[in-house]
Amino acid sequence: MHTVSFLSPMRLNQFTLLIGDRIVLVPYEKKHVPKYHEWMMDPQLREATASEPLSLEEEFEMQKTWRNDEDKLTFIVLDRKKWEESGKNEIISMVGDVNLFIVEGEAECEIMIAEKEERTKGRGTEAMMMMIGYALEEWDDDLEFIAKIGYDNDQSIRLFVHKFGFVEEGRSEVFREISFRLPRDNNHRFRYFYRSKVTKEEIEEREEEEDH
Q: Is 50 exceeded by the pLDDT of residue 112?
A: yes
Taking phi over 0 as left and psi of -120 to 50 as alpha, with beta for the rest, 23 belongs to beta
206 assigned to some structural domain? no
What pLDDT does residue 212 have?
Answer: 47
Q: Is 80 exceeded by the pLDDT of residue 102?
A: yes
What pLDDT does residue 206 have?
Answer: 58
210 assigned to some structural domain? no
Q: Amino acid letter at 82?
A: K
Q: Is 50 exceeded by the pLDDT of residue 75?
A: yes
What pLDDT does residue 205 have?
Answer: 62
pLDDT in tens, 8-31: 555 667 789 999 999 999 999 999
What pLDDT does residue 50 have?
Answer: 75
178 assigned to some structural domain? yes
Q: Is 90 exceeded by the pLDDT of residue 66?
A: no
Domain count, the chain: 1
pTM metric for this prediction: 0.89
Q: Amino acid letter at 210?
A: E
Please report which confidence band the pLDDT of residue 211 belongs to, taking 50, 70 and 90 as the band edges. very low
123 assigned to some structural domain? yes
CATH number at residue 73: 3.40.630.30
Hey, how many other C-beta atoms are within 10 angstroms of the C-beta on 180? Answer: 22
208 assigned to some structural domain? no
Residue 95: enclosing H or E segment and its boundaries?
Answer: strand 94-103
pLDDT in tens, 122-132: 999 999 999 99
- Report, as an integer, the average pLDDT of 185-210: 84
189 assigned to some structural domain? yes
Q: Is 60 exceeded by the pLDDT of residue 62?
A: yes
Q: Measure the CA angle with vertex 205, ends 23 and 104; round to 5°.
A: 70
212 assigned to some structural domain? no
Per residue in 151-167, is it b (16+ CB within 10 Å) or e — as a string? Answer: eebeebbebbbeebebe
205 assigned to some structural domain? no
Expressed as residue numbers, the domain containing 21 is 9-198
